[in-house]
Structure 1
Amino acid sequence: MNHTDRTNHTPHGNDMTGLTDIRLVVLDMAGTTVADGGLVERAFEAAAAELGVEPGSPDHTDKLDYVRATMGESKISVFRHLFGTEELARRGNAAFEKAYGELVGEGLTEPVPGAREAIEELREDGRTVVLTTGFARVTQDAILDALGWRDLVPLTLCPADAGGRGRPFPDMALEAFVRTKAAEDVRQMAVVGDTSYDVLSGVRAGAGLVAGVLTGAHGEDALRASGAGHVLASVAELPALLRGVG
Structure 2
Amino acid sequence: MTTASNQTRHQIRGKDFRGPVSTVIFDWAGTVLDFGCIAPVAAFREAFAEGGLTISEAEARAPMGAAKREHIALILAQPNVSRRWQMEKGRSVRETDIDRLYAAFLRIDAVNCARYSALVPGALETIACLRGQSITIGSTTGYPRSVMDGLMPLASLQGYEPDHCVTVSDVTRGRPYPDMVLANAVALSAPDVRACVVVDDSPTGLLAARAGGMWAVGIIASGNEVGLPLADWLALDEAEQTARREAARNTLDDAGAHFTIDTIADLPPVIAAINARLLAGDKP
TM score, norm. by length of structure 1: 0.80
C-alpha distance in 1 between matches for 2:31 and 2:179: 19
Does residue 87 (structure 1) correspond to residue 87 (structure 2)? The answer is no
Find runs of 4+ consecutive structure 1 residues off by over 6 angstroms. none
C-alpha distance in 1 between matches for 2:169 and 2:70: 12
Greater RCO (Cα-Cα under 8 Å, separation 6 or more): 1
Partner of 2:281: none
The farther-off stretch of 26-35 and 41-50 is 41-50
Which is helix-richer, 1 or 2? Answer: 2
Q: Percent identity?
A: 29
Q: Can you give the 5+ residue segments of structure 1 that lack an aligned partner in the other structure?
A: 1-16
Q: How far has the Cα of 1:151 moved from its partner? A: 6.7
Partner of 1:162: 171
SS of the counterpart of 1:130? strand
TM score, norm. by length of structure 2: 0.70
Deviations 1:169-210, CA, capped at 9 Å, x for gaps? 1110011112221x1221111111111111111111110x21
C-alpha distance in 1 between matches for 2:67 and 2:129: 29
Q: Highest CA radius of gyration, 1 or 2?
A: 2
* Cα pair distance change 1:140/1:201, threshold 3 Å: same
Q: How far has the Cα of 1:118 moved from its partner? A: 1.1
Partner of 1:14: none
Partner of 2:31: 32
Partner of 2:240: none
Q: How far has the Cα of 1:108 moved from its partner? A: 3.1
Q: Which amino acid aligns with 2:192?
A: D
C-alpha distance in 2 between matches for 1:97 and 1:39: 11
Q: How far has the Cα of 1:36 moved from its partner? A: 4.2
Partner of 1:188: 195
RMSD between superposed Cα atoms in Å: 2.2
* Cα pair distance change 1:177/1:71, threshold 3 Å: same
C-alpha distance in 2 between matches for 1:42 and 1:190: 29
Aligned match for 1:177, one of 177, 185, 207: 185
Q: Which amino acid aligns with 1:124?
A: G
Q: Which amino acid aligns with 1:90?
A: D
Asked if structure 1 preserves the Cα contact closer than 8 Å seen for 2:27 and 2:200, the reply is: yes
C-alpha distance in 1 between matches for 2:250 and 2:160: 35
Q: What count of residue pairs does the alignment treat as equivalent?
A: 218
Asked if structure 2 preserves the Cα contact closer than 8 Å seen for 1:97 and 1:135, the reply is: no
Q: How far has the Cα of 1:236 moved from its partner? A: 1.4
Does residue 217 (structure 1) correspond to residue 232 (structure 2)? The answer is no
C-alpha distance in 1 between matches for 2:178 and 2:122: 27
Asked if structure 1 preserves the Cα contact closer than 8 Å seen for 2:218 and 2:257, the reply is: yes
Q: Which amino acid aligns with 1:100?
A: D
Partner of 2:137: 129
C-alpha distance in 1 between matches for 2:199 and 2:25: 6
Q: How far has the Cα of 1:241 moved from its partner? A: 2.0
